[in-house]
Structures are given as structure tokens and as C-alpha cells.
Structure 1
């Protein structure tokens, strides 16, 4: 076998992939003298830049390479402020001026819709943040087998970068995380080894309400906390002394092979098993596994936009599909006659019911059901909705659900999406049922990353 040596070359970044990395194409000759295309994925680059890279195995068709040098920089390139940016996989666009990020996200939404035959002029400019830092209210950090605490290395899920800071998390969340890291080192505790299925600590989940100030810390361990009582008692004492805003300190026992933030047993170390948060003036109880928007500042804009664009009326019935714990249900419930929420996760439905009760809302019905089956059941018991809203996961609602929505014929549909591509394919399913896309407002809930949310409305033609 021929030993192909690494090759250094200067290439031009033509565009970006879905993960935000630069894409370049190099034409070469193969051993027969025929042209051969080499596609390069180059993180931390921007469109139009000329960069020098060293490519190992350049005879392959696709390779990934890190930039050795930026030969010609994009006009919007800026120094990344985070000391971990070069290695950490948490942020990919810290080197891009924020206005440039917003324009790229707008273009992404326009392109996704245009691919499905929609008019891209219906897309407004992406709504950004005044301060695109320290915006996340929840983080999940990982322990390395040696006990280091941080985030995964870029492109390497098995490598953990030990963090000194994190510029997208609140300062209090970072301080609490560093305290846990110190506690682990002081007691010589080991992290979980995925290959050997050995080690104690797997993850640390940190959650904070930016309104109430309450913090939740959840340690995921492979054993019961009683097996390490002295260390656990010390953690409780440290947290209680230094972080009185921690209202929930949990030990979440997880012995499964799958590397997920799930719990077989929940051990309450201090406080209660939930924290309080607020959105649009409504109070929510958040447990460790509750899905709640991770950028509360922009999430409030999502709620405001959904209400403004959906135009709810007191005389109407409304269905909230993929309702979760009621993030949109509660604000809409006060503006419609009746509201029915549908969500497949039973614990979220129980939370939605409790949140409605806590806020004195009595015109809601919540159903734990698959979206497609839930619509059928709710139409029979609840009746025909004039307004329907959906906020599906990144994978989208899917054709079957969208066609079921089309057959239900609500007068107006509000679609909140975290994936422009699945959003575009989903709403395409509604065209045969007589729906027209009115407008799309992208909202940046995830600065420094490729992700963007959208709020859109569709109207049934009469």
C-alpha cells in the first residue's frame, strides 16, 4: 500500500455546512491522470476566506482539516473571546461578527423555504440579542474518566475539555460548576469511562432561572450517593454556604450503558426537586428533565411573536401541539376561550397541568399522546379549533402529522421551529389543503452557533 504523505495547500472557503464549518473543493489528478474532487471541511473559517491547511490522506474524496493559517480573512472575522474556542465543541461562530451571524441565519431560512418553492421575501431579518453572551439558563457538562469537568472536544465525543469558563452560560452557573469541579478534585473522584463502563460521575446539569434567580445542580452518578456519604455531605455543605440560590441539589443515579442525562433513581440532597422560573408573567416548575427554552430573553420574544402573529381571540378554541410544560399554552390560554395541549411525554403533561393550576388557569385540557393520534382524539372530545400552534422537535412534525393538521382545517396555524429545513418540508405538506404562508420571523436563540428559531403563520384560504 502506498504511503500518502500529508499535503499543505491553500484553498478558498466556498460555503458553510449545516454545522457551520467551511467547505472547500480541490481538483486533483488521480493515478490515471483523471480529475478527482477532494472536498474539505474546515472548521473556524468563513465564506470567501483563503486558508492554508494540511490535509492527511489527500487522496481521499472527503477530509476534515483545521486551518494552519488564515491567508485572506473575511471582513467580519473577529478574535474569538473564549479561551476554549479552538477546541471546544460548544460554539462554532465566536470568530464571526454578530451581525454576520444573523445575516447567515436569515439566509439559511430563506434558502430552506426557497428549496420548497416558497417566496424567500416572506422571511424577515433575524431578530438578534442586544448582548449575545451569557444567555443560556441550562448547561450539561461531562466528566472525563480522570474527573475533569467540561464540554466535549470539537468533533470528538470521547474527549472532554476541562473548562475555565463558558461565555454562553451565566456567571453564577459557571461559578457553581467550578465549585463542583474543585469538589471532585478534592475528593479524588473519578469520572465515567464509556468504554469500560466504570467510574462514578457522568454529567453535571446546571439550570437557573434568570427571573427568580433559583439554581438547580444535578450530578449524574453510576452509584447511590450513600456509597460516598462523606464526599456528598461536603458537597451539600459547600453549596449551601457559597450558593444560597441553589434551591435544588440532586444526585441522579444512572447505571445505563447509554450515555444520556437520564435517571433511574432521583436522590434529593438539598432543597426541593424543582426550581421556579417565569415566562410572560407565568410561573413554571422546572424539574431536571423538563424541556424549557434555554434562552429566556429570546424565548419571551418567541411567545410575544406567536401571540402577535397568531391573533388569538376569546371566542376561539385552540390546540397547542407539542405543548411541553405549557410554555406557549399558558400565555395563549388567557387570550382564547379554550385551549387543548398535546404532548407525548407524560411527565411534561403532568407539569403542564400543574403549571396551569399554579397560575389559576382553568380553561385548558392537556393530553399525553402522540401528536397524530392526539389530534384525532382531541378533535372528537374538544371540537374544531380555529387556531392551532405547533412547536415540534428539531426533526420536525413529519408528513403524517402535517397532513392531519391540514385535514383538521384550523383557520390559522402558528408554527414555531428550531430547524428551518424540517420547517420548510413540513409546511409544504399544507399547500394541498389550501394554506398560504403569511410570513416568517427568525429569532436567534443560540448566538455563536448555527441554530436559529422561526415563528411563522399560515392561513386557510377561504
Structure 2
């Protein structure tokens, strides 16, 4: 029997990695007495500057991930996490960090990303936080364990589900409706889906809530249709949800038998209401289906729109392109202020939604194209010439060099860049500098308190 070597060490947290975990380095004498060996430690639930006592198994390895055994010197920004699930649940990583500390870290993250690309970090303003950084999410996706428990994945373990009693980042009505579905599952003894064996009934529960209209969507993802032996359970679900939650305007049962662990549907059953709900942002109305991408923090999303309008300064005689436009979150408020707007998005269902949303809001100066970014820009220019203003809101991976260089050659006078990833934002922005663009300002916005994520709105102008 092999004995695992363990050693108690004291580590000082130097910085946090991209997942929000503490990073420390310890130099240890080698057994042969030669040069010291570097041991890199990843220590979750720690903060910069803290001294931590840890027990390391196999300390002769170069890298280890360990849990903190004792906080020897706590950060003055450390606080008690209010959620009972915090240290296990993967929904949040920083509830042990006071909110002011989180915001400072996010501002520095954006500054460091710009500095790495040779951009001026002094252009970065302080991150705009929330007055109340709790219960801010208007959409949650929960997963069923094989036993039928409903919750979120354990941190770093997508095979284990933490059954939830509450969730402090989800809207309160979302939590109440989720707990009702959980109770329904237990009463009928329904089983969850086993990813390894590819068997079981219930996979996910998606809940959307509009903070403006009050409408709620409950979407249950299962491997079978709500018929036959499942019909009584489905009827009971309809009765209890419609009686207790009159704001649920969309109760869906979606069949997904695919191996992929995603919230997708092969067949959709509308158990009650319609297959979408209405939401509003900045006075504009949007239809949201179960697979519609929409900002999950409406309070801060409104700030993003306001900042984009303030920086972009749209004018009545201007033509504009909204690149990666989605369902028109930015398109609609800008279209109301410019002569003509073209939205470009590769996802066809999002483009159909954007067209419908524009019509619902009586905006008739919009064109929406289901194209990749570069081809879409070319088609718009062939149709009505060069754009005066361009807004870009790419996915987390960024737009990429080819798209940014295409934008640079198109030479819009002003570019508003909305980013959900400071690192790719900085890389993309650097691509525009050789084309005569100057980065004017960068405003970080915290859309996801208690997580590592931070959004930015930035303005670039073409040098005269």
C-alpha cells in the first residue's frame, strides 16, 4: 500500500486566476539539495494578500489545487457569505468578498487587459456596480440529478448537482417557482437524467422572469413527451402552476433526447399560455422564447444601452450597423435615433426575432441580415454605402482579427464596442489602431455580481 505524502504549508495569495481562484507560489528545497522547486497552488475561496494554511498532498508536484485549511491573515475585504450553498454551488465564486472589493478587482482586470495590448489603462473608468447586487438574474437554468433533485452544478464537478433551497442571485419569483417544480417532482417520484447511462426523464428547468412585465416562463426539458403514463403528472403541474403563479404566461414541456447536455428542444409542448413571454428594456418590448439570448441582468443591461447611446451619439441623418445584433437589444433604441440601421447576426432565429421586435415597436427603418459578420458588412455597404456609426457586441470569444480588420477598412466614423470579455475586447481593439482609430473611453459595468465576469462599453473614433 502506497502512502500519500502530505505537507502543511503556508501560502500567500498573489493574485486570482480567470476563474476567481487564489494563486500562490511556494519555493521548496528539493530532496537532493539542488535548486529550489517551485510549487504553484490554486486555492479557491481566498482573496489577494491573504495568508493561508493548506495541506498539500504530493507537494513535490509542480502544481496542486487545494482547499484552504485555515485563513491565517484574512483580507479586510473578506465577509461571511450569505448563501447556505455558497462553498459548494458553482453559481457564485465571490460571496466571501465584499462588493467594493469585487468592483475594484474588475476595474483592474480591464486595465490590465488593455495594458497587455499596449492600450492606455487610464482610459478605464471605475466599474459601475449595483445598488443591490442580489436577486438580479432574470433567467436561470437548473439541472436535475438522477435522483430527481433540482439545483446547480457543484463547483468544478458537472456530474454532481447541489439541491437548492434558495438562490440569492436569481429573482425571488424564479426561486419560488423553481421550488414548486421541485416539490412536484418529489410528489410524483420522477427521476432525473443520468448523463453517464443516458437514461432518466427530467434534464433541466429553465425559468425566465421579466422584471418589467412580470411575465414568467417555465420550461421543463425531458426525454419523453407529457403523454401516456406522464399525463397525470403533467396535468397536475399545469394545475399547481396556473393556480399558484398566475404570472406564468408560458409553461413548456420540451423533449430533448440528444446526448449533448444542452437546453435544446426536438419537440415543444405548450402546457399553458404561449411559447414566449414579453419583456421590456428601456421602453422597448421584446418577445423572448426559451432559446432567445437576452441580457440576464435587466437593471445593468439598461445601463449598457444608456452608455452605448451616450458614447455613440446617434444622429437623425446617419446610417448605422449593429454587428452581432442578436434580437435587437441595442438595435431598437439606436434605430429610433438614426436614419437607417442594419443588424447583422449569424443566428437565423435571432434575426427573425429582431425583425418581429422592430415591427412590434413600430420601427420601420431597420434591415436585419442572417449573415456572418464580414459578409454582412459587405452586403450592407453594397446596399446603402458606408455606415457612419457601428456598434459591435460580440460573444465572449470576441470578434477576431479578420472581422476587426474588415471594420477598420470600412472606416465608420465612430465605433461603440460592447464587450463581455475584457481580454478579447483589448485584443480586438488593438486591431483597429493601424486603421487610424483612437480608443477614447472604456466604462466597465458589473452585470454579474459575485462572479468573475465584467462587461465594458467603449468608444473608438476615426482620426480626422
For the aligned pair, the TM-score class normalised by the smaller chain equals over 0.9
Contact 1:340 1:382 in 2 (8 A): no
Counterpart position of 2:270:
268
In structure 1, what is the Cα distance between the partners aligned to 2:384 and 2:243?
Answer: 51
Shifted more, 61-70 versus 142-151: the winner is 61-70
In structure 2, what is the Cα distance between the partners aligned to 1:269 and 1:307?
Answer: 40
Q: Structure 2: 5+ residue runs without aligned partners? A: none
Counterpart position of 2:224:
223
In structure 1, what is the Cα distance between the partners aligned to 2:416 and 2:208?
Answer: 29
1:309 Cα deviation after fit? 0.4
Matched ranges for 1:38-53 at <5 A: 38-53=39-54
Match of 2:429 among 427, 434, 441: 427
Counterpart position of 2:418:
416
Match of 2:348 among 321, 346, 355: 346
In structure 2, what is the Cα distance between the partners aligned to 1:378 and 1:229?
Answer: 50
State the superposition RMSD in angstroms. 1.0
In structure 2, what is the Cα distance between the partners aligned to 1:29 and 1:3?
Answer: 21
Alignment deviations for residues 217-276 of structure 1 (CA, whole Å, 9 cap, x no partner): 001101111141111111011101110000000111111101011111111111000000
In structure 2, what is the Cα distance between the partners aligned to 1:203 and 1:53?
Answer: 37
In structure 2, what is the Cα distance between the partners aligned to 1:89 and 1:68?
Answer: 20
SS in 2 for 1:430: helix
Counterpart position of 1:196:
197
Counterpart position of 1:450:
452
SS in 1 for 2:320: strand
Contact 1:310 1:414 in 2 (8 A): yes
1:59 Cα deviation after fit? 2.1
In structure 2, what is the Cα distance between the partners aligned to 1:284 and 1:132?
Answer: 24
1:375 Cα deviation after fit? 1.1
Contact 1:94 1:448 in 2 (8 A): yes
Contact 1:4 1:59 in 2 (8 A): no
Aligned residues: 462
1:2 Cα deviation after fit? 6.1
In structure 2, what is the Cα distance between the partners aligned to 1:438 and 1:269?
Answer: 51
In structure 1, what is the Cα distance between the partners aligned to 2:351 and 2:380?
Answer: 15
In structure 2, what is the Cα distance between the partners aligned to 1:184 and 1:293?
Answer: 29
When the two structures are superposed, what TM-score results if normalisation uses the length of structure 1? 0.99
In structure 2, what is the Cα distance between the partners aligned to 1:384 and 1:16?
Answer: 43
Alignment deviations for residues 382-438 of structure 1 (CA, whole Å, 9 cap, x no partner): 321000001000000011100000010000000000000000000110011000000
1:371 Cα deviation after fit? 1.0
Matched ranges for 1:309-324 at <5 A: 309-324=311-326
Alignment deviations for residues 272-329 of structure 1 (CA, whole Å, 9 cap, x no partner): 0000000110000000000000000000000000000011000100000000000000
In structure 1, what is the Cα distance between the partners aligned to 2:385 and 2:451?
Answer: 41
Match of 1:397 among 396, 399, 403: 399
In structure 2, what is the Cα distance between the partners aligned to 1:261 and 1:393?
Answer: 18
Matched ranges for 1:8-407 at <5 A: 8-34=8-34, 35-227=36-228, 228-407=230-409
In structure 2, what is the Cα distance between the partners aligned to 1:402 and 1:11?
Answer: 42
SS in 2 for 1:332: helix
